[in-house]
Every structure is written in C-alpha cells, then in structure tokens.
Structure 1
Amino acid sequence: MRQSRNVFVVAAVIVVLALIGLGIYQWRTTSETDVPSADGPRETTSEAAAPAEPDWCPAVEVISVPGTWESSRDDDPFNPQANPASFMLSITRPLQEMYDINHVRVFTVPYTAQFRNIQTARGRAEMTYDDSRAEGTAKLRGELDFVARTCPSTQFIIAGFSQGAVIVGDVASSIGNSAGPINPDRLLGAVMIADGRRENGIGVNPGAEVHGTGAEIALQPLQRVADAVTPGATMTGPRPGGFGLVEDRAFEICAPDDTVCDAPQGVGNAIDRAHALIAANGNHAMYATNPAVIPGTTVPEWTVNWVRDVVGSL
C-alpha cells in the first residue's frame, strides 16, 4: 500500500513539474515575440504582409465630370467621344498630353448628362435633371471609392462644368463633411466651373467677383415655376455644411452674368430664368475663351496650371 502511494505521489510530482515547465516555455516564447529587438519590432508569423498596389495605380487621379449634353453613359472614360466640343476636354486633353497615365490618371465620368425641357421635342424625350445628376453622382462616387480602396496611396482632384460642377460640388461637400466616399485628406482639390449651387463666400473664388448666386438657390422658392419648364429638376438650394474640411481647396469659378451660377436673388421672370438654367448660351457657353472670368488667363489655362502646380508639389 505504501509503495503504491509513493508511486502515485511521484507521478503527481512529475505531472506538476511538466505543467510548470510548459508554462515557463509558453511565457518565454510569448515574451520574446512581444519584445522588440534592437533592430525594431520583431515580426510574428501571424502578421500578414500589406498587399502591394497594382502597377497601374497613379500618384494622382483627376476625375472630370462634363456638363449637360457633353457626355453619355457609355462613353470611353479615357478617350471621351460623346461630344467633341465638350468644354471639359479643353482641360483633360492637355493633362493627358502632359502626364503618363500611371502617374496622373485622367478619368472622365460617363453619364447621361441630360436636362429635360418640355418646351422642345428633344427635351421631352430626355432624362430628367434629377435622374441625370443622380447617375453622374453615383459614377463619380463609385470611381473614387474603387480607386481609393485599390490604390491606398493615390490622391484625387475632381473637376466639373455646369451640371458636372453641381455633381462635383455635391461630392466635394460630402467629402469635406466626412461623409465619404474618400477621406478629406486624400482630396487635393475640387474645381467647380459654373456651379448651379454656388454661394458667395463658400469655397475659393480665383476669378472675377460675382454678386449673384447659383440658379438652384435662386429658384428654390419658385420650384413650381421651374417644374412647368423642367419637370424632374429639383432646385436643391445651398449645400448643408458647405465644403467643410476641404473649403480651402474647393474652387468656385463663375463668369459674371452667367445665370447658371450668377443668378440674382429675387427672381423677376422665373420662367425665363428656368429656361436660362438649361440653355448653354451666352456667357455660360464661353468659358473656354472668356477673358473676364479669371483676368489674365482663361478658365482651361488656369485649371491646367493649377493641377500642374499641385502635382508638382507632391
């Protein structure tokens, strides 16, 4: 009996010593893994290597959003053909000639870009402004989101004209107010040319002083009148929160007396103003050459030079 009891005690001691030894081993292993060496933190086998970016990822992506009747939903984003006279081509083509696509990728958002006007046969068959703007906004946000997730080091510039300026301004406002689709620090700047939601004192005006406001603000109290000419065109008014954290790099460019972005408050003839909003004529159609918008240069020249300076400073 005593002999068997001794055997049991010896066995128990061996088990306890084994457990203590295993605990010491695990403690030493964990401690050695957690303590950095003189050469820096020691990698553990559980750490996954950060995925490499695809070869095509650019340092900067410039995304352009054309104006009404200057794009189509199936257009080529790298070689737009829908409207050879599109104003935004006067900016994107020089940039494409200036930079390799793997350094500065120039992408033109392909969207329907229409604005229904029941006063014309063509207009009655077109997509409404609300639907067109929603399509363009979704495509701009989608491109930003895709490239931002695929290329973590890429930064962005967005620019648009007329309906495209409203879209760019809306997305810039969302970014600046931390509502996505990218973090504010990844947006190098936004350029809105003839923005229908422009407000004095919101954003940066690099050109001539203008005293009016965007037509979507001026016409908001007269929505019923606007509906008589342009059904499905919601006059959305000012952007809540402005441009938030990107206020200092949100550029609002407007030609004096362009009724799209420089409409007087207290509209007199609202129906005429609604027609002017959808008609690409007068000062609204002269941004490529009008010397009165940004004295000493033209809007395309200013924008291309600004992009070049921003890219060169990186």
Structure 2
Amino acid sequence: MMGVFLPGTWETNTGADETRAVGLLAPVATTLAERYGGDFEFRFPAYAAAAFDGMAYGDSKDTGVAAARRVIGDAATRCPATKFVLAGYSQGADAMGDVAASAGCSGDPVSADRVLAVGLIADPRQGTAGGKLVGPQVDGQGIAGPRDSGFCALSAVTAEICATGDKYCATNATENPITAGIGQALTQAGVEHNDLASALTTDLSTADITELPTAVEQLGSTSGTELGSATKTVTDSLGSLAALGNWVEDNPSARARLDQAADGTAEKAAAGILDGLRESNIGAALDSLAQVGLRLAETHAADTAAATAAQAADSVTPLTDAVTSTESETIAQAAQVLAVLKPSVVFDQLMNVVDHGLEFAVDIPALVDALNRMLGVLGDPATDIPGKVRALHGVIGEVNTLFEPLVALADGVDLHTVSRLIAMIPDTTGTAQVASILVGLLANLDVKQLASQVGRLQENVWALAETIAAGGDLLAIGARLLEFAPTALGFATLAVQTLTGESTTSSDTTSTDIASAARTLVASAGGGQDGADAVGQLLSEGLEAVEFLLSGVHQDYGNYVVDSDGRTAVVWLTDWFSNRIRQVVVVR
C-alpha cells in the first residue's frame, strides 16, 4: 500500500525530501505507517506550493499535479499490485483532486480500482460531483468552482472536508459572484495570461535569505568554482530583495505595517531585513558581483575576482548583520512575511480606494456646484469686497472639505495600478469596470498639488476675512483680492473642466469624464449614498475574498471536529483510510 499526500501552500517546496511527512497531513501518514509497518509506505510529492511569492497560484498548482502524477505513476508501474490512498490539503487538495478525477474518469495515472480512498481537506473545488462532504454542511462550493468531470469511478471513495466559514472551499456563487469570479481567475495557470495574479506577485523565488550570510561570507574566502557559485547565489538573492525594497520605498504603508509589529515577531524581523537592505549599497554590490563573473572567465584574474567579491561582501554588511542577528527560524518566517507583503498592502490600498472613492463619487455633484458658485462669486460685479470675501470664505471651505476623500484616496496609492486591478475583477454587473474608469481618471490628477492649491486659497481668503473683521483698509483688501482672484478663478475653472469634461475653448468634450463616471457608478447600485454603500459592499466582498485566498489562512483542521465522536478532520481521515485499507487489503 502507498499513501500519497500532497501538502498545502508553503508546506513543501520543489527540493523537499518526499519520504518526509510534512504539514497538516503528516500525522495521517505517520499513524498509518505505525499501524501497518512494512505494508504501508508514504510519499509527500515535492512541488512549488507557492502563492504570489514568485509564482502564481495556478502555475504552482500545476507543479503539484505533475508531482503527484509522477509519484503515483512511478509506484503503479514499479509495483503493479500496490493500492493507493490519496490525500491533499489546501492547494494540495486542489491538485490531488484533479489527479483523483483523472484517475476516476480515465484511469490515468492509475486505474480507479487501485485507489482505496481519496481525502481532500479545504479543496477549492469542493462540490465536484461524486465527492462526499464529511462534517457540518457548508454554504456553497469551492472558490475555484467544481471540476466539470466529477470523480467518476472514484466517487464512492472520495471524501471532502471543509470547515464552516472557510471561503477557500465554501463560497456561495449566487450570493457572492465576485468572490467566486476572482477565485476562478486567480487559480488559473499562466501568469502571462493572468494580469491580476502577476500584479500581486513578489518574486522572491531566487532569494534564499537564510543562506545569504553564508554565501556572502564565501565571497571573501573562496575561489574558483565555489566563488562562482557563491556569486550567483548572492546576485540572485540581492536582485530579488532589491526589487522588493524599491517597491516598499514607494509604498510607505507597507513599511509602517511592519514597524508596528511587536519585537521578536517575524514581521519585526522583516522590518530589520528591509532596514539592512536600505543601509546596504546594493547597487555597488551587484556591480561588483557582475565584475567577479567576468574576472572568473579570464585567465590569471583569480586574485582580482576575489578582491572584487570581497568588496561586494562589504557593501552588504548591514543586510547580513540584520539576518545573522535573528534566529534562523524567525528569518525563515520573515521571508514568508516579505513574500506576501505586496499583495496584502495592495489590497489594503484597494479597500482605501473603494471606501474613499465612493464617498468622493457621491460628493462630486456638490463639489461641481461649489466650484461653480465660487466662479459666480469671483465674477459678480454687483457684490462688494466684504461680500465677496465672506462668500469665498464659505465656498472655498466647502471645496476643501469635499476634496478630502480624494486626498485620502490617493495617499500613498498608485491609482493607475489600482484602476487596472479593479478592472480585472470578474463582475457581470459592470460596476467594477465603471469603478476602474473613475479611478483611472482620478489617477491623472495631481491630487497633492490640487490639495495644496485649495489649502493656499483657503488660507488667503481666511486672512482677508480676518483683516476685514479687524477693520482693515478696504482699498488694501481690494488690491489683495485682485491679486488673489486670478489664481482662484483659474483653479475653479480648471477643476470644473476636469470633473465635467467641459471646455471653454472647444465644443468637444471628453468621451468619459469624472462626473459622468461617478454618476454611473452610484446609479448602478440605485443612486445616492445607499447606492454607493451597496457598490462598496460588492467590491469589498470580492477583495476580502481574494485577501483570504492570498493569506493561505484556513480553519485549524487539526482541531476542527467533524463528527459526533469528537474526531477532528485529521483523526477522521486517518481512521477512514485505515478502515478502507482493512476492508480491501489483506495485511500481513
């Protein structure tokens, strides 16, 4: 008998020892091995088990399918009498479920009569025809949708376990169409065809942070082939880390999140790595390492290569110090934190845009009205100086307040990127597309400059109002107002044109303007603030679901009780596999 157990995301890697039990399913394998001794053998296929940390989920899953098929196929060919139990958790369940469906429906990579049982925990394709749900009922199917083929001949022996509330394996597509759509989009293979996945991926696949200090030390103490190997390792790691470091510098909220973490945590260690990265001269190190490669290829240049390598090592001392000053286990956890930092921050930014963007969309009619009133006050010859100042004092205050959601929306956010991501949300209602257009239009505004101009205008008019209240010279105030008026007039005119698409110099209007996009966005959910709230809920639902998918967070299946006997998912699966083995196989 052989048990093939496919681990979940980050529980294994392509270089793992396949004879070693790892992750959630490890107790199942080791307990069966203890019960049946030499009659039972297990394997944990080594595959990428990644998600947005150098490889898109769908591509990683494909490596899991290939690894499982290889292990099962080789054993089936080598030992024609061997029977199998197959299991997978999370991403591993996704891949192993596909393998089981293939075996049940086509006999590949092994015929169905040789498979004793299939157990899938937290399968994103839960709901596939033939699979039997064990434990409490859940609402909906897996986030990636069920397999079209079903399990065919393996239906009677395929068990699915999904915890209540685990969106990964239980999403109601009718009530949550966005969640289901995003899940299906993100679980597809092929990063080149999946812009949403690639936009959220941080490529740290070549960055071995825990081994970096050793490789850097070798730069100054080895030569020849060993120096070449160390040079490649350090170059690959520094290149990946530098790209992440540059992104963090452009996104202060990412760094703030890590800085707020408690001492001794993986998040704090990740902040220390970023500190060391910033304090190191990565550019100089990479230049030196490139020279090392050239020198190693030259005859009689070994000494020069070694000296240049030592310079590279000196350039990254702050980074290596940050790594060596922390326990290796914490550094490994910190590397995982850095791997998912980008998607988690991007989704925070998306939620910020959703929250404040909808507020701004609702306020745009009032903003346009306030700007037009501002133009009217400035151009009204019948209003005296004190009247103009009082009116401007009020209306510019309104404009400033109405611009606040836009300032909050754009704070530290790349709106062009957010616009593209929103556009990728699968949404048959068209709401996401309209929201994307609106955010894209707002991305073309210099929001900081806009806010600064409003602030200066408000300060100027307040100063004029205070001077009037203090009994100042009206002629002097009038002169200052004349100086102030062109700036205020130009700002208000440009703002109205930008928001509405209208132009005083041309009869043409832009095909889509901010005000029109805002009206469409609000109207698509019924209009008014209630409509905006409904749109916000729709987008939030989708984004929260993706954040759940990216985080890899599932219920604690090691403690999740599935039956009246109090057995957990892991214990139940172990007992069920054992019972199936006893029923079908004569054990020595």
Q: 1:203 deviation in Å?
A: 0.9
Give the TM-score, by structure 1 length. 0.66
Matches of 1:307 and 1:189 in 2, distance apart? 6
Q: 1:95 deviation in Å?
A: 2.1
- 1:90 aligns with one of 14, 18, 27: 27
Write out per-residue CA displacement over residues 186-229 of structure 1, whole angstroms, 9 at most, x where no aligned residue. Answer: 11111110000111764112211112110112xxxxxxxxxxxx
Partner SS for 2:578: helix
Other-structure match for 1:256? 164
- 2:144 aligns with one of 199, 205, 216: 216
Other-structure match for 2:131? 203
Partner SS for 2:87: strand
1:108 matched to 2:44: yes
**Any conservation in 1 of the 2:128–2:151 contact (CA below 8 Å)?**
no
- 1:74 aligns with one of 15, 24, 28: 15
Write out per-residue CA displacement over residues 69-102 of structure 1, whole angstroms, 9 at most, x where no aligned residue. Answer: 111111111124xxx6x211132222232232x3
Other-structure match for 1:40? none
- Asked which structure has the greater CA Rg, the reply is 2
Matches of 1:294 and 1:255 in 2, distance apart? 12
Letter of the 1:246 counterpart? L
Letter of the 1:290 counterpart? Y
Q: 1:278 deviation in Å?
A: 2.5
Partner SS for 1:127: coil
1:244 matched to 2:172: no
**Any conservation in 1 of the 2:128–2:148 contact (CA below 8 Å)?**
no
Q: 1:112 deviation in Å?
A: 1.4
Other-structure match for 2:557? 287
* Identity in percent: 31
More deviation, 66-75/198-207:
198-207
Q: Which runs of 4+ in 1 moved over 6 A?
A: none
Q: 1:177 deviation in Å?
A: 0.8
Matches of 2:95 and 2:6 in 1, distance apart? 8
Matches of 2:122 and 2:158 in 1, distance apart? 13
Matches of 1:264 and 1:135 in 2, distance apart? 28
| Equivalent residue pairs, number | 219
Write out per-residue CA displacement over residues 88-129 of structure 1, whole angstroms, 9 at most, x where no aligned residue. Answer: 1132222232232x311111111110111xxxxxx3xx2211
Q: 1:287 deviation in Å?
A: 0.3
Matches of 1:147 and 1:97 in 2, distance apart? 21
Letter of the 1:299 counterpart? A
Give the TM-score, by structure 2 length. 0.36
Unaligned runs of 5+ in 2: 177-537
Unaligned runs of 5+ in 1: 1-59, 117-122, 218-237
**Any conservation in 2 of the 1:213–1:263 contact (CA below 8 Å)?**
yes
Q: 1:179 deviation in Å?
A: 4.8
Which structure 2 residues correspond to residues 171-186 of structure 1 after superposition, within 5 A? 171-186=99-114
Which structure 2 residues correspond to residues 7-86 of structure 1 after superposition, within 5 A? 60-80=1-21, 86=23
Matches of 1:90 and 1:203 in 2, distance apart? 23
Higher strand share: 1
- 1:277 aligns with one of 544, 549, 554: 549
Letter of the 1:175 counterpart? A
Write out per-residue CA displacement over residues 231-255 of structure 1, whole angstroms, 9 at most, x where no aligned residue. Answer: xxxxxxx212200111111111111
Matches of 1:130 and 1:174 in 2, distance apart? 18
